[in-house]
Structure 1
Amino acid sequence: MAHRVGRARGRPRSFHNSSDNTLIQSLDRAMDVLKVVARGDGLSLTEIADLSGQSASTAYRILITLQKHRIVEFDEPTQTWHVGIEAFRVGSHFLGRTSIVEQSRPVMQRIMAETGETANLAIIDRGEVIFVSQVETHEPIRAFFRPGTRGPVHASGIGKALLAYLPRAQSESILKRGALSTYTAKTIVSHEALAAEMERIRAHGFAVDDEERTQGMRCIAAPIFNQFGEAVAGVSLSGPAFRITPGRDTEYGAVVRKAAEDITRAIGGVPPRE
């Protein structure tokens, strides 16, 4: 009889405690510092210390340690700290866990070729939209979302497209995380108005960010579904309002809806049941 080899454990047998006293405090502080560096576009030691809540000496020791592993880099001329190449390599393994980014790329390139506008791919993470891929237009005036950029779910085309197809309890939980911030005169901040917006999105199959996050910029998005019919990502085109006019919403809505359907099929997904 063959001997079965058990799978290696992911934690000690005696480990049942998930409280804060099981954390490695120095590593926890290092993660706070790394997140601050990642959100900035070159920060000084003083800025990093202030934003992470660490003393300057503690923040510096953390940065030097991260620099040793090339997780962060120091720019001598500007005296600022930046995310390093190893941080990208580690983060890229997350994208490798899913085929959505890979399967979306040619479809996003098609969107850009057909419309001349920037194509985006994003997911919802902790109540925010996080952009994971982009194909930029060649136009000088364009929308730009660096991979890893986060945005408000209620003032985003992709955010609203996903909210419309999430289970009601999940979407309500996301919207109740905090006050809905107003970014422009067109930002939808009332739950009643958002509920009506969700109905419109489900009726048309695409969402529109009508200068709700940034004045002068519009976005049209549609949701991507996994094999369980769950909305897991969204694809969009975005650009200036003088090119993506309301009169083109139906045309561009069909483009992103078709793109989302193609990506859904490519990853083995299925649209939700009516």
Structure 2
Amino acid sequence: MLDGNGRTLKTTQTSLQILELILEHEGLSLAEFDQMIDKPKSSLHSHLNTLVDCRYLVKEEGVYKPSFRLALLGDRARQRNRLKSVAVEKIDELTAATGEEANFTVLEYGRLLMIYGSSGVTPNADDDALFRREYHLHNTAAGKALLAELDRDHVESILDEWGMPRETESTITDRERLYSSLETISDRGYAIVNEEFAPGLVAVGAVVHNDEEDVVGGLSIGGPKYRIDMSRLHDELADQLLATVAELERESPILV
């Protein structure tokens, strides 16, 4: 965290690292933290006690877990950029019309964060991907669409910070190739990913603006490649995606 002098506080960073690890692992013991964080066990114990005392963690049988108060913070953050019910309705309609998964995401600190997802099916609670809500920009459809809206310096700063990790054999990891694709995306108004994020998955994404032309977020739709070929992705799904984007932008006051 930055204080008034622009310095960062190591103690706060450690506490936040603890929270991130707990969210990633859905609960950890002090001994497990001791293996993950290079700090004295006594110091880790103090951080954990403070987070429990402030009600951001709960301790159950020696395991630290996220509290419901922590969830309330997330809900409050969502309200800052939340989709009102009519927008959620349109995204659900897009899923119903296509039979594919639609996601609304926002750009924050160079990362793509999922705000709302609609698949039209009951999720499998054992699917780890279900709980992934933060993504890179260079290999996601909405992420690439958002990058295409940014100036080169901004894109460079994001790539410098987060890199371009290869998540599949098809992930673009070369900046010049990415910049070339961003020019194409800017010209046609939507982005495509073809197994760049996960093997066998394809998607199309576009940017949603408010009535002042500011970027509100990104909307994407996609699914398994065995039922979505490139022709359908570029024609049917891209058309339906852009139609939904246009509807959302016409009703931009519903987007906070």
Give the TM-score range, shorter chain. Answer: 0.7 to 0.9
Secondary structure (helix, strand or coil) at the match of 1:177 reads helix
- CA drift of 1:35 comes to 2.2
Tell me the percent identity.
24
- CA drift of 1:156 comes to 0.8
The code of the aligned residue for 2:135 comes to G
* Aligned equivalent of 2:14: 29
RMSD of aligned residue pairs (Cα, Å): 2.8
The code of the aligned residue for 1:65 comes to T
TM-score normalised according to structure 1 size: 0.79
* Residues 150-176 of structure 1: per-residue CA shift (max 9 Å, x gap): 112101111101011123322232223
CA distance change for structure 1 residues 85 and 26 in 2, over 3 Å: closer, same or farther?
same
- CA drift of 1:103 comes to 5.1
Mapped partners of 2:223, 2:129: distance in 1: 9
C-alpha contact 2:123 2:130 (8 A) present in aligned 1: no
Higher normalized contact order (CA 8 Å, seq sep 6+, divided by chain length) = 2
> For residues 256-271 of structure 1, what are the structure 2 equivalents within 5 Å?
256-268=241-253
Mapped partners of 1:187, 1:42: distance in 2: 32
* Aligned equivalent of 1:239: 223
TM-score normalised according to structure 2 size: 0.83
* Aligned equivalent of 1:164: 148
Secondary structure (helix, strand or coil) at the match of 1:228 reads coil
Secondary structure (helix, strand or coil) at the match of 2:161 reads coil
Give 2:6's match in structure 1, choosing from 9, 15, 18.
18
The code of the aligned residue for 1:125 comes to E
* Residues 45-94 of structure 1: per-residue CA shift (max 9 Å, x gap): 33334434333333233323323444223453xx5433221111012111
C-alpha contact 2:211 2:250 (8 A) present in aligned 1: no
> Is residue 2:155 matched to residue 1:155?
no
* Aligned equivalent of 1:208: 192
The code of the aligned residue for 2:159 comes to L
> Is residue 2:114 matched to residue 1:126?
no
* Aligned equivalent of 1:138: 121
Structure 2 unaligned spans of 5+: none
The code of the aligned residue for 1:126 comes to Y
- CA drift of 1:26 comes to 4.5
Moved more, 232-241 or 26-35: 26-35
Secondary structure (helix, strand or coil) at the match of 1:154 reads coil
* Aligned equivalent of 1:7: none
Mapped partners of 2:228, 2:27: distance in 1: 33
The code of the aligned residue for 2:36 comes to L
CA distance change for structure 1 residues 153 and 97 in 2, over 3 Å: closer, same or farther?
same
* Residues 10-30 of structure 1: per-residue CA shift (max 9 Å, x gap): xxxxx953334xx5x644432
- CA drift of 1:225 comes to 1.2
C-alpha contact 2:141 2:220 (8 A) present in aligned 1: yes
Q: Could you list the structure 1 runs, at least 4 aligned residues long, displaced by more than 4 angstroms after superposition.
A: 25-28, 139-145
- CA drift of 1:102 comes to 4.9
CA distance change for structure 1 residues 183 and 26 in 2, over 3 Å: closer, same or farther?
closer
Mapped partners of 2:88, 2:4: distance in 1: 41
CA distance change for structure 1 residues 224 and 50 in 2, over 3 Å: closer, same or farther?
farther
Structure 1 unaligned spans of 5+: 1-14, 270-274
